[in-house]
Each structure stands twice: as structure tokens, then as C-alpha cells.
Amino acid sequence: MSEIRLFVTSTEKQAEAVLDVMSVVFEDEDYAIATMEIDEKCDVWEASIYMMADEEDGVRARLAEALAADFSRLSIEREVLPDIDWIAKSLEGLAPVRAGRFVVHGSHDRDKVKTGEIAIEIDAGQAFGTGHHGTTAGCLEVLASVAHTRTVRNVLDLGTGSGVLAIAAWKLLHVPVLATDIDPIATRVARENARRNGVVNGMTFATAPGFHSTAFSANGPFDLIIANILARPLMKMAPQLVANLAPGGSVILSGILAEQRWKVLAAYNGQHLKHVRTIWRNGWVTIHLTK
């Protein structure tokens, strides 16, 4: 079945505002959304949402309704995308990603790992997280810093995706790690990636749509929680996330656009967490806080 891209064309400022609307309307669903610059000189941008062809009518109707109030002059256009594995294609020829002591690489780059590096092998697949995104690389860098300055006895990787951050935490710290995701496919992929990286014991995987899952109470509270998700879910879950954090524990948050960082910080400051550090990478930020 074909994949469809619905998009609106506008200025950068309006495209960002439309992206915010898309994020709110489709917050709890698996649609990919993005902005893209089309013409730098003329300030032309596109805000897009991607879906399968049989979902187009429903998504278009909801998007049109959401845009009617403030963006009624913007027309919703469509593009039928070619049947290509874009994830695999985008990674062809990409060099390994290095962040601190970590190097994330595909199976074709095993020979590029240097002595003393902590290697994590992740190939393109069905779950997010190959290390090439600024959010993943930022989390790896902060993880190395936390491990150097604090005692960590157990870790939660919330929204694990490919499992890259959970695997990194285990390889660096050798402590129990709980890796959860709302998507059962991601949970399966993360488990398979852990085995590929030689992690047989010490990691627990669970499909958990919310903090009501018994996996959290059975394995927590946690000295370190890593959550590379999106800004709005991070703000919404702040009270529950902090409730699962051990006294003196650390939180690493990412999936946050630079302009969203103040809202996220406010949500976690409201839960009495202290800001330690913010890392910027390619328009995204990774935030380290402590309890």
C-alpha cells in the first residue's frame, strides 16, 4: 500500500505553527510529522504529515478541521510517495556516529570501531533510533557525563525505540535496565538489537502504554530515567515520571525542539527537579535534570 504525504506550504513561522497543531491533534498516534525548507531566499517551507493511503481521508478531515480557525487560507496538498525503504536508503554510506565514548554503527561498519570505544550496532529497521538523529546523539553524550559523575544502580529507557540508549546504558554501567515502548514492534526490535550487541542478561523489555504498567513498580524507582520522546508527551507525563525517579536520581530528556525547551523545563521544575545541563544538536536539545 502506498504512503501519502499531506502538506501545507507557507513561511517558516507559519509552518512551525502548523507543525504544533499537527503535534496536538495527532499526539497519541504514530504519524510522522516534519517541516522542510523549500526556498531559503523566499522563505518557503512545508509542514508535512505522513500516513498510509487508507488513512488519508480521516487524517485530512481532522487536519482541515484543526487548521480551519487560524490557517484557513492554507491549502492541504498531497503527494504519493514511491515504495522505497527510506530508512535503509537514508543510512547508505552514513558514517558511524560518535558521542562521548559511544560509537553507533551499522553492521557494515564494524571494522571502523576504535579501541576503547563502546560500540553499539544498530541497522535500519522498524523502530526509531540509529544514532544519527541529534536527539539520540545528545542522550548518549549526557549519559556518559552522568555515568562519570553519579552513582547509577538501575536505569529506565522510556520510549526505547531501537533500544540504542538502553543498550548504551547497560554497556556503560552494567546495571539493570528496563526498556519500554508503547509499540510492541519497537519492543521486539529493541530486544533483538540487545541480543545482537551481546546483551543477554540485565535488560528487561516491556510494552507499556503508560506508567500504570507493573513493569515500572517491579523494576523501580530508577536512579536514571532516559526519555527521548517528544516535548508534549514529556510535559504531560512529568508527574508520573518523577514519581518513578529515586531520590538523587537523574533524568535525561530529549526529542525537544530548541524553542520548546522552556516549556519542558517549566514542567519538570514544577516537579522540583533541578536543571543541570542542556545540549544543543541540529535544532534539538537534550536536557539533564536531577531530583
Q: Percent of the chain scored above 70 by pLDDT?
A: 90
Q: Where are the beta strands (DSSP E) in the chain?
A: 3-10, 32-39, 44-52, 77-81, 97-99, 102-105, 118-121, 155-158, 177-181, 203-207, 222-228, 245-257, 274-281, 284-290
Cα(79)–Cα(67) distance, rounded to whole angstroms? 19
Task: Report the candidate in 283, 175, 181 with the shortest Cα–Cα distance to residue 228.
Answer: 181
**What order of strands is seen across the sheet that includes strand 118-121?**
97-99, 102-105, 118-121
- Asked if 271 and 245 touch (Cβ cutoff 8 Å), the reply is no
pLDDT at position 83, please?
Answer: 63
Amino acid identity, position 129: G
Give the model confidence (pLDDT) of 202-232 as tens digits. 899 999 877 888 999 999 899 999 999 888 8
> Is residue 7's pLDDT more than 90?
yes
CA distance to 95, 102, 117, 121, 173, per residue, from 113 (Å): 11, 10, 7, 10, 20
The mean predicted confidence, pLDDT, of the chain is: 85
Domains of the chain: 3-81 (3.30.70.2520), 88-290 (3.40.50.150)
pLDDT at position 127, please?
Answer: 38
Mean pLDDT score, 261-278: 94
